[in-house]
Amino acid sequence: MKPAMETAAEENAEQSQEKKGCFECCIKCLGGVPYASLVATILCFSGVALFCGCGHVALTGTVSILEQHFSTTASDHALLSEVIQLMQYVIYGIASFFFLYGIILLAEGFYTTSAVKELHGEFKTTACGRCISGMFVFLTYVLGVAWLGVFGFSAVPVFMFYNIWSTCEVIKSFQTNMTVPGDQICVDIRQYGIIPWNAVPGKACGPILENICNTNEFYMSYHLFIVACAGAGATVIALLIYMMATTYNYAVLKFKSREDCCTKF
């Protein structure tokens, strides 16, 4: 029989070996996490959620403001109401698509990271894997350009609401200083092209405009459009990170495929 001290030493050696193997396994798993894709996915989900959620509510508030204060005839803003309703359905589609696309890109990041670092023996570069990575690179570039347009488009209502709000501040300033009558300061919504020129009344002046700025609908819609614009900007940044990550992974996979091909001969 072995002495007790030798048995204890062997047990300690086995435990230390198990701990070392477990530690190496954890390090190996952490090395396979695509941190860039993970950050981009979180940022993309947050940006799309802000854009879609806030944009949907802000569009509803905008229609209500127009109907109550700038276009009292239903036929004048019937086309605008249909367009906004269509945009709200588009928002639903965007939210669903990017929820699925973010998950797919994260899975693709895990795949390419594992293939690049050769964390699994048979899970290396393949023609199919390189084709999938190349497809995601192209698709992400296209979506990035599209979201730049969405970001620019989402800034338009922010600009419009800011002009109305700043005009209300000018009216308050003139009323305080008593230099110019507030009734002479107006905002004409028809100049933005969202309602026709024959819409009645089409514009608001003086105290009426100031009352519009003090309503909860105007306040909420203005700030929701700002948040939606910020969400679109966050999505653009997320897609830029995706672009860099997918392009880098594809380039490394391409390089390793050539390296493996050359080492066979």
User: pTM score, two decimals?
Assistant: 0.78
Pick the closest to residue 227 from 86, 53, 93 (CA basis): 53
How far apart (Å, rounded) are the C-alpha atoms in residues 163 and 174? 16
SS3 179: coil
Predicted pLDDT of residue 30: 55
pLDDT at 225: 93
Q: SS3 breakdown of the chain: % helix, strand, coil, rounded to 5?
A: 85, 5, 15
Task: Specify whether the backbone of 204 is left (phi greater than 0), alpha (psi in -120 to 50) or beta.
Answer: beta
Mean pLDDT of residues grouped by 10 in the chain (265 residues)? 48 50 57 73 90 89 86 78 84 86 80 60 56 79 90 90 88 68 77 81 84 89 93 92 81 66 47
Quote the CA–CA distance of 179 and 167 in Å, as a whole number.
15
What confidence score (pLDDT) does residue 123 get? 44
The pLDDT score that the predictor gives to residue 119 is 47
212 DSSP assignment: H
In the chain, beta strands by DSSP E: 186-188, 203-205
